[in-house]
Amino acid sequence: MGNLFKIPAGIIYIIGSFWGLIICLGIVHDKIGFFGTVFALFLLPFTIYLAPWYVGFVDGNWHPVMVIYGSGIGAFILFIIGTLIDGD
């Protein structure tokens, strides 16, 4: 029964992660250019963490922060509910 919450949690997490990655790489491409984007791929965890906060504070666009962290928090809550239902 807990899988009714765990499966959507996984789907939300995967879609939010890929969408956030695309948004972050777009931010880096707009601010630094192509070579900055290639370099950002090597530093992927830092890119996903820093790029949305940079745009939020500098440009006032908090959409990337909401996508990345909101999907993660939502997926975490659904997963915890599913775990509590299963009794794991």
Is 51 buried (19+), middle (13-18) or exposed (0-12) by CB count in 10 A?
A: buried
Percentages helix, strand, coil for the chain (3-state, rounded to 5) are 90, 0, 10
Domain boundaries, the chain: 3-86
Is 66 buried (19+), middle (13-18) or exposed (0-12) by CB count in 10 A?
A: middle
At 22-69, the pLDDT tens digits run 999 999 999 999 998 898 888 888 888 888 999 999 999 999 999 999
Q: Is the pLDDT of residue 71 over 80?
A: yes
How high is the pLDDT of residue 87? 80
Q: Is the pLDDT of residue 11 over 90?
A: yes
How high is the pLDDT of residue 88? 66
